[in-house]
């Protein structure tokens, strides 16, 4: 079998693959009902992961990946029929095609490290996503983006033009993207912006918060002699830097590390943590419950 045939077979297989995410009150029979429904419609479950908060009345979460020949042609009908099962168990659910790439917008300011990690992983095929655009309040990163053939939009933001600039951003995104990634975008989004993309905006920041606020957190951390440096990726809510956490990581540091060392280590952790969170979102591995997430990683 030649490489072209293998690629075509892989694409056909992906076209038949779907992902289902469900959360509902826990009770007996949920897995059986979903599995029976899929079996009755000719689907083959290839992956299943589940979690119960409390078998005695808590919530139940499940992610199922299945193959169904000609899924995309049957998708609308399948969703309509599954609504009955969902109603019976009070489910919140979504069903998506694995072959349908999500469209992502990346917002940046001046720091390149998180943006570069996303671009590199996308170029290597490790992020199965369409990068629809990069939006920035500065033009400094345009030369980084242009070689990738991705549209770059420079929309300056000042105190006086903040609302007007955000309206331009919203107009750019309308109908063009499924979710937004803030790759060290150093502006606060308005409640109006956030409400248009609930649990669809991913942010990254250092993990010193709330201890070291302000513009020089690494200098503050150095003065306090911190022993751990970390980063947090989370969904954006109206509460600043307090949305549902998707992923975190840390690295040990010591007295030999100066402020520049701390910054360098912090940048590395930020880029890895953000890319990991974005990849999990792309793969429909995250369910949000209140201000927490269940991540089937």
Q: Is the Cβ–Cβ distance between 179 and 104 less than 8 Å?
A: yes
Calpha distance 86→294 (Å, rounded): 19
Q: DSSP states of 176-238 as a string?
A: T-SEEEESS--SPPPHHHHHHSTT-EEEEEETTTTTS-SS-HHHHHHHHT-SEEEEEEEE--S
Token pair in block for residue 132: 């629809």
Which one of 241, 249, 257, 258 is the catalytic residue?
A: 241
Calpha distance 253→228 (Å, rounded): 6
Known active-site residue 241 = yes
Number of C-alpha atoms within 13 angstroms, CB side, residue 136? Answer: 21
Calpha distance 170→261 (Å, rounded): 37
Q: Is the Cβ–Cβ distance between 221 and 199 less than 8 Å?
A: no
Which residues have a catalytic role annotated? 241
């Amino acid at each position: 079998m030649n490489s072209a045939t293998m690629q075509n077979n892989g694409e056909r297989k992906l076209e038949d693959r779907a992902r289902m995410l469900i959360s509902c009150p826990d009770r007996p029979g949920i897995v059986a009902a979903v599995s029976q429904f899929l079996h009755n419609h000719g689907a083959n479950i290839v992956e299943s992961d589940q979690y119960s908060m409390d078998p005695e009345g808590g919530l139940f979460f499940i992610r199922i990946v299945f193959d169904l020949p000609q899924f995309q042609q049957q998708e609308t009908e399948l969703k309509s029929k599954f609504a009955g099962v969902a109603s019976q168990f009070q489910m919140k659910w979504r069903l998506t095609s694995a072959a349908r790439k999500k469209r992502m917008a990346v917002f940046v300011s001046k720091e390149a490290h998180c943006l570069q990690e996303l671009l590199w992983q996308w170029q290597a095929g490790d992020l199965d996503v369409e990068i629809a655009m990069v939006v920035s309040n500065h033009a400094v990163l345009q030369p980084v983006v242009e070689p990738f053939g991705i549209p770059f939009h420079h929309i300056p933001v000042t105190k006086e033009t903040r609302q007007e600039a955000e309206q331009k951003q919203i107009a750019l995104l309308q109908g063009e993207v499924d979710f937004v990634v803030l790759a060290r975008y150093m502006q606060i989004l308005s409640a109006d912006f956030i409400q248009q993309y609930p649990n669809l905006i991913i942010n990254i920041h250092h993990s010193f918060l709330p201890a070291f606020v302000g513009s020089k957190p690494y200098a503050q951390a150095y003065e306090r002699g911190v022993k751990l440096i970390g980063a947090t990726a989370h969904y954006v809510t109206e509460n600043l830097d307090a949305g549902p956490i998707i992923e975190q990581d840390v690295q040990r540091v010591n007295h030999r590390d100066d402020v520049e060392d701390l910054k360098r280590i912090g940048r590395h952790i930020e880029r890895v943590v953000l890319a990991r969170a974005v990849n999990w979102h792309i793969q429909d591995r995250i369910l949000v419950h209140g201000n927490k997430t269940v991540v089937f990683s």
